[in-house]
Structure 1
Amino acid sequence: MTAQNSRPGPRLRRVALLIGHLEVGGTQKQLALIALELRRAGVEVDVLTLSKGGPFEAPLRDGGVGVHHLGFARGAGAGNARTFARMVGTLRRLRPDVLHAFLYHGYLIGVPAARLAGVPVVVAGRRNESRLDLRHPWSAVLDRAVTRMTDHVVVNAVALARDAVSAGAHPDRLSVIYNGLPGAAFDPAEPEPVGTSLPVLACVARLSEEKGHRFLLDALALLARRGRPCTLVLAGDGPERDRLERQAAVLGIDVRFLGSRTDSAGLLARADVVLLPSLTEGLSNSVMEAMAAGRPVVATSVGGNPELLEGRGVLVPPSEPVALADGIGRLLDDPELAGRLASAGRAWARKHFDTHVMVDEHVTLYRRLLEK
């Protein structure tokens, strides 16, 4: 990336990025990419977490990025009020030019704090469809109020731009910036050994209700009844794990639970088909990484998935195990089709997911807002 401060216009001195935590997740991975690339471009960067750190913290610190845990706690009441006051003080001390708050709780708390601290530019990063966040009657009211307080809203898919406008964002203060992938995502990887003679299906996603794993397990059982048994490998962890393990046992299907991990390159290299059965989605990192790895993908037609996979993968309706099973069977039975879609996806990913382009677009936006 071109050194941003050599360009004409206001100098971008310091950026603060805010998120709930640094555990394994697609948004956390993208935040780390943005932070490290900004730092390499000569911008001072601080990452603030509402609660705790996680696996992405060490690479950030090693790259010269400051990491600050604010200490918010669920249900802490007066304690969180004091933490909010300390957060305002932290922002006043750091004096960033820009605060970019990611995800619903990040901008719900971060935008008012930044305004009180006098941060010049405040950006909200929406990464989910609003129905995932606005599950309580008062959530939509708060969301609209906070959105009006921001200078700009950034989303990572056109589908999310439409969703953000319906949730109160002004079209003139809204930008779509696609996620980025590091160059290593396109490098060949050694396939991870999976002890099975069956076709291997892989799903890299948090084990939470909105990811739709229960429908995927039903689809696997349908395939087995059709004489097409497969081994399903799940990379991720979350509140649905126990229930999914019980469901797999009842159905009598071969499901391997690998737990949370930050690197799935070997697993993707081994997979015959990569799956994402989400009920709601932003712009999925796991689908992007599968495309970069040249793997055929079956995903539900929600959120940004159609933008990624139209003509480059198999899209199916959400919550429909029969459609999932049909899509998987279609690729397993037609290797030529699977290879053609995988090649198209990889070529499209190379063109659209350059990390430097993504960060350059953020820098351009930040500086334009500072100039205003």
Structure 2
Amino acid sequence: MEHTPAATTGQLHAVLVLAGSAGGIGAHVRSLAQGLSAHGLDVTVCGPAETDELYGFSATGARFHPVEITPTPGPRTDAAAVGELRRAFARATLVHAHGLRAALLSDLALRTARAGTPLVVTSHQANLATGVERRLLRLMERRVARAADLVLGVSSDLVARARTLGAADARLSPVAAPPLPLPLPEGRREAARAALLGPKDAPDRPIVLAVGRLVPQKNFHLLFDAASGWRGKDEPLVLVAGDGPERELLRARITSEKLPVRLLGQRSDIPDLLAAADVVVISSRWEARSLVAQEALRAGVPLVATAVGGLPELVGDAAVLVPPGDRSALSEAVSGLLADPVGRADLAAAGPPQASTWPDEAATVAQVLSVYDELTTQNGH
């Protein structure tokens, strides 16, 4: 849909830009678009056409302006994207870009179309690349940090990184916790477990659950390393829900090492999987505000996670944290919890109170509105 001018004279027109939906970015932008529109802002969302199909930005009260921002740079594709962004920014009061690629192209478009328009950038991801790619990404991050009027980091480590890279103003702005799931009917745990356990499994066989895209960041290899040590009559069944480029590599490990792991593929029944699980594990190299961590704590399922990124501030004392990359620590933490019903019950009870401290969608939108008001007032809009 093509951009059209703001309907009301003096109405703040915010343009939200995203390159894709990875890491929950799409869900966050949809939440902002809906909340900001409900507060009377004129909102346009710019991003690849498939993001509107996935998240329904057009149904939030915002306009959707398709801009094909590719995952990697390309002279022709980037020039076309910048041209489309210029059109979308023609009457913008403020631009809010989400992620590095969206921010880079938004800055280029603003320099030639709307110089002086405030640029807010939300940083959602750490730079986990290596070698030359890491150095190139760092250069891009530095440019974005210095170009933005304000960088919002979804976790404290991202805020600190933005300041190190030269951001004039960087602040914490956590992404809203997802809505509470409906309570599961009585007896759902037993039914969920029965659907997951095999015919040769004991009915009380422990279930360890991991959820996420099968990509290097999630470091499922660390979980597999830990699982190789869980042998004997109480060996847990490890279930991994998700799909991604490492699927065949992980499947090969399961077969060759005879690991007690099953890949479930992409699932839409995460509440049922949580109901069946005795422990949830996050083995990632980095996370900001992990969705599965939030879901586990809200559902009262014990969580073991690596102490990376924003996870420690997210879970507080309501989870067991282990050093990243430490196979022995992860293995011992999980096996220790499985052998300790009292410890599991304590963690289960601690989850919902910790979850109640997280900002909801209304609080997140209110913070963003306050930021917009501050920046547009400074710029005389």
What is the TM-score of this pair, normalised by structure 1?
0.87
Structure 1 residue 282 and structure 2 residue 288: aligned?
A: yes
How far 1:231 sits from its partner (Å)? 1.9
1:146 corresponds to = 144
Matched, 1:202 2:209: yes
- Out of 59, 64, 74, the position equivalent to 1:62 is 59
CA distance, structure 2, for counterparts of residue 336 and residue 56 of structure 1? 42
Q: What is the SS of the residue equivalent to 1:351? A: coil
Question: Is 1:163 aligned with 2:161?
Answer: yes
Equivalent position SS for 1:203: strand
Residue 98 (structure 1) aligned to one of 77, 85, 94? 94
Give the conservation status (yes or no) of the 8 Å contact 1:50–1:72: yes
Q: Which residue pairs with 1:16 in the alignment?
A: 15
Q: 1:237 — aligned with what? A: 243
For 1:344 and 1:17, locate their aligned partners in 2 and report how far apart those are by CA, in whole Å. Answer: 36
C-alpha contact (below 8 Å) 1:26/1:284 kept by paired residues: no
1:3 aligns with: none
Q: Distance in 1 between matches of 2:222 and 2:74?
A: 36
Partner of 2:68: 71
Unpaired runs of 5+ in structure 2? 1-9, 198-202
Find out whether 1:356 has 2:362 as its counterpart. yes
Q: In the alignment, which residue of structure 2 is the partner of 1:8?
A: none
Give how far 1:123 is off.
Answer: 0.7
Whether 1:368 aligns to 2:365 is no
Query: For residues 250 and 128 of structure 1, do their structure 2 counterparts lie closer, same or farther at Cα, with a shift above 3 Å needed?
Result: same
SS in 2 for 1:352: coil
Give the corresponding residue for 1:7.
none
How far does the alpha carbon of each residue in 1:23-76 deviate from its partner, in whole angstroms, 9 at most, with x for none? x63222222222222223232322222574276323x33333333331244464
**Alpha-carbon distance in structure 2 between the residues aligned to 1:154 and 1:255:** 38
Aligned residues between the structures: 356
Q: Given residue 195 of structure 1, which amino acid in structure 2 is its aligned partner?
A: L
Q: Of the candidates 83, 86, 110, which is equivalent to residue 85 of structure 1?
A: 83
Counting only pairs closer than 5 Å after superposition, residues 121-270 of structure 1 correspond to structure 2 as 121-132=118-129, 135-170=133-168, 173-185=169-181, 187-188=183-184, 190-191=188-189, 192-193=192-193, 194-196=195-197, 197=203, 198-223=205-230, 225=231, 227-261=233-267, 264-270=270-276
Q: Is the 8 A contact 1:210 1:279 kept in 2?
A: yes
Q: Counterpart of 1:181 in 2: which secondary structure?
A: coil
Shift of 1:279: 0.8
CA drift at 1:347: 0.5
- Looking at structure 1, the residues matched to 373 and 268 of structure 2 have their Cα atoms a distance apart, in angstroms, of 32
Moved more, 361-370 or 44-53: 44-53
Name the CA shift for 1:81/1:180 in 2 (closer, same or farther; >3 Å): same
Counterparts in 2 of 1:334 and 1:50: CA distance versus 1, 3 Å: same
Q: Which amino acid is 2:172 matched to?
A: V
Q: CA RMSD in A?
A: 2.6
SS at match of 1:64: coil
Give the % identical residues. Answer: 27
User: What is aligned with 1:117?
Assistant: 113
Amino acid at match of 2:316: E
Change in Cα spacing, 1:240 to 1:12, as seen in structure 2 (3 Å) is farther
Cα 1:261/1:151, change in 2 over 3 Å:
farther
Q: Which runs of 4+ in 1 moved over 3 A?
A: 72-76, 130-136, 185-194, 260-263
Distance 1:227 1:42 in 2: 61
* Whole-angstrom CA distance in 2 between matches of 1:83 and 1:18: 11
Structure 1 residues 243-252 or 189-198, which shifts more?
189-198
Helix, strand or coil for the counterpart of 2:180? helix
- Name stretches of at least 5 consecutive residues in structure 1 with no aligned partner: 1-10
Larger Cα-atom Rg: 2
Alignment CA distance shift 1:318-1:51 (3 Å): farther
